[in-house]
Amino acid sequence: MRTFVGTTVCAVALTLVTACGEQAATTDHEMNVLLAEWTGPYGGVPAFDRMDLAYLKPALEAAMAENLEEIEAIAANPEPPTFENTIVALERTGQTLDRVLTYRGIWSSNMSSPEFREIQMEMAPKLSAHNSKIIQNQALFDRIRTVYESDEARTLRPDQRRLLQLVYDRFARNGATLAGEAKERYAEINQRLAELHTQYGNNILADEEGYVTYLSEDQLGGLPESFVRAAAAAAAERGREGEYAVTNTRSSMDPFLTFSDERDLREQVWRTYYNRGDNDDENDNNALIPEILQLRHERVQLLGYENYAAWRLENRMAKTPERAFALLEAVWLAAIARVDEEVADMQAIADAEGAGITIAPWDYRYYAEKVRKAKYDLDSDEVKQYLQLDNLIDAMLYVAGEVFNFEFTPVPEGSVPVFHPDVKVWEITDKESGEHVGVWYLDPFARTGKRSGAWASAYRSHETLDGLKTPLGSNNSNFIKGAPGEPVLVSWSDAETLFHEFGHALHYLSSNVAYPTLNSGVRDYTEFQSQLLERWLLTDRVIDNYLVHVETGEPIPDELVAKIRNAATFNQGFETTEYLASALMDMMYHTMDPTGLDPDAFEREALERLGMPEQIPMRHRSPHFAHIFSSEGYAAGYYSYIWADVLTADAAEAFAEAPGGFYDRELAKKLVDNLFAPRNAVDPANAYRAFRGRDAEIDALMRDRGFPVP
C-alpha cells in the first residue's frame, strides 16, 4: 500500500459545489488536475504549473473515497488470502491519493499561504480518520494476519518476507489488534493529534514569517558584503527598500550572529529566533505540547507499551530507549567538557579586547569566529568566497557520477512543469548504459511561505510492481538569493547541509526495490546515507575543481584547505551539545508520564539536571521543535542523527583506508549495492554488516569529533 491518510466527511461531488455546499473545483479525474494521472516525459511528471488550491479539498475527498473502495475490494475478496491477492494488492492501492498528497506537500512546505493553512487544518483530522479506517478494517487485517502466519510466508523471497513483515507491523503496531472502545479511542486520538500537529507547525511558520528584524545602514558593522546585499534584497522583497532584513530563519540568523558587531542587535535576533512558538500570543505552542504528549502516551498504552519511546524504537536499530539514551549520554559529557574549553577561549578574547562582557548565547557564534581566526587563522568569510552555490551543485553532481555512476543532464526550461521559477530540473541516466534513472528537482532559495531549513522529498518512488517506475524527487534549501546576476555564496556549514540533503536524494534515486513500501525508511538509519555524503565535500577532487574564488576564479589555496582540515573539529562542543540537548529532551518527553506537564519548566529543569552550559541553547527549543511536535516523523527519534553518525564515521574510515580513497570503485559499489539501493528491503543492521564486515563502532565517532575515545 502506498499511502494511509484521510476519511471523507462530505460526499464526493462531480459539480462545482460539494455535498457540503462549499464552492470547489470538480473532482472528476479528468477535470481536477490534482487527481489526474501524471503525463509527459519520464513516465509522467506532476503538473506543478497547473496547481490550483481550489482543487485541493475536493481532490483529497475524492482520492480518499477511491482509496477506501480499493481497500474494501481487498478485504471483501472471497478467495483465500495469499501474498499476491492481499499484500501485493495493498501495494497497488492509493496511487491517486499519493498524487494529491504530492501537491499538498508542495503547498505545505514550499508554497504555503493562509488559505492553504485553513484547508490543512480542516483536512488533517479527516486524513487521520481515513488512515484509522484502513488500519482498523478488521476483515483486511484478518487477511494480512492469515498470510503472515501461513506456510506461504516461509516460501517467499527475502524482499517479499521483509515486505510482509513491514505491512503486518504497520497494522499491528497502529491499533489493528484493538477492539471496541479501545479501537474507537485510538482513532479519536489520531484525529486530534493530526489537528495539533498541523496547528503546531502553522504557528512556527507564522512566527518565521511575522518576525523580521530590519536594519539601517549604520547597523551593518561586521557583516560581510554578501550578507548585506542579500539582506537588502530580502527587505526590498517585503516593501522596505533601503533597509536590510534579517529574517527569522536559521540561514539568516546564523551568519548575522556570527559577524555582526552590534551586540544588542545580536541579542534581539537571537531571542526572536529561539522564541519562535513561545511569544504568549495566538501562535504560542506551549499549550499544545502537553496535549500532544498526553495523547501519544495514552495511545501506546492502549497497545500495551510503557511509554511512547518504547513503542517507537521497537522496530528501529536502537530497539529500546535505554540504548538510545546510552549513546547520547556517552557523548554528552565529552561535548559539554569541550564547551567549557571553547567558552574559556572566547572569554579570553573578549577580555583582551576590553569588551567588558561575560559570554552569552548571542555571543557564542561571534566570538567562536574570532577564536577560529586566532587559533587556526581561518576566516569563515574568506572561505565563503570559494563556496559558490552553482559550483557546489556541480560538485555534488560530479560526486554522484563518480560514486553512483549517475549522469545529470539539465532539462530544457519549460519541458518539465515546476511550481516556482526558482526550481531547476535534471534528468538522471546511468553513465554506462545510458538508461533513464530518474528526475531531480532543486528548489534552493528562501521565500515567503516556504518553511525554513533544508529537506529532500520523493514525488514518486522506484518500483517494478507493474512495470518500471523511476523516481522523481527534490532537494529544497533556504539560501538567501543575492542581487540579480550575482553568485550566491554560502557558509561551510550550509555547503555541508547541501551535500547532506543530496545524500537523501541519492538514496531514493539509487533504489532498486520491487514494492513501494520497501522505499520506506528506518529513522535511525536513513540519516546515515545523507551524513556520509557530506564527507565528499572535503575530498581533493571537489576542492581542486569546484572551490574557486568568486572574483578571481582561482582555486582555493592549499594553505586555506589545510586550515579547514585542521579546524575540522573546531566548535564541536557547541555543535554537538546544542544537538544532543534536543535529542535528550525528545527522549525525556517520550519516556515520561506527561500528566500536568509545564513544558517551559520541564525544559528548564531538565537542562539544569543535564548540566547544560548556559551559553548554549537547545538547537530546537520545545515550542519550535517541529521535528517531534509538528508530526511524528522524528518523535522519540531525534537521536537518529547521532546514531546514524556512528555508522557515518565508521564508514568514512573505511573509505579513508581504501586504496582509491573516497572514490574507490570497489568500495563505492559495495556502498551503493548494500546501503543505498536496497532501501528498506534489508534489515539495516544486516545491510551495514554486509558493507563493513562488522557492526559500526562508537570509537570512530569520538575520533571524528575530536573527543577522547572511551
The residues that are catalytic are 501
The contacts of residue 596 (CB under 8 Å, 6+ apart) are: 290
Alpha-helical (H) ranges within 215-320 are 225-237, 250-259, 263-274, 288-302, 308-313
**What is the full DSSP assignment across 406-458?**
EEEEEPPTTSS--SSTT-EEEEEEETTT--EEEEEEEEEE--TTSPSS-EEEE
Is residue 515 within 8 Å of 466, Cβ to Cβ? no
DSSP state of 707: P
Give me the phi and psi of 477, to 5 degrees please.
-135, 180
How far does Cα 147 stand from its chain's mean position? Answer: 34
Residue matched to cell numbers 545524500 = 503
515 burial level (CB within 10 Å; 0-12, 13-18, 19+)? buried
The contacts of residue 280 (CB under 8 Å, 6+ apart) are: none
DSSP state of 535: G
Instruction: Identify residue 613 by its one-letter amino acid code.
Output: P
- Residues 85 and 90: their CA atoms lie apart, in Å, by 8
- Residues 471 and 260: their CA atoms lie apart, in Å, by 43
- Residues 331 and 699: their CA atoms lie apart, in Å, by 11
Sign of the C-alpha dihedral computed for residues 510, 515, 519 and 522 taken in this order: negative
Tell me which residue of 624, 632, 575 sits closest to 603, measured CA to CA.
Answer: 624
Number of H helices, E strands in the chain: 27, 7
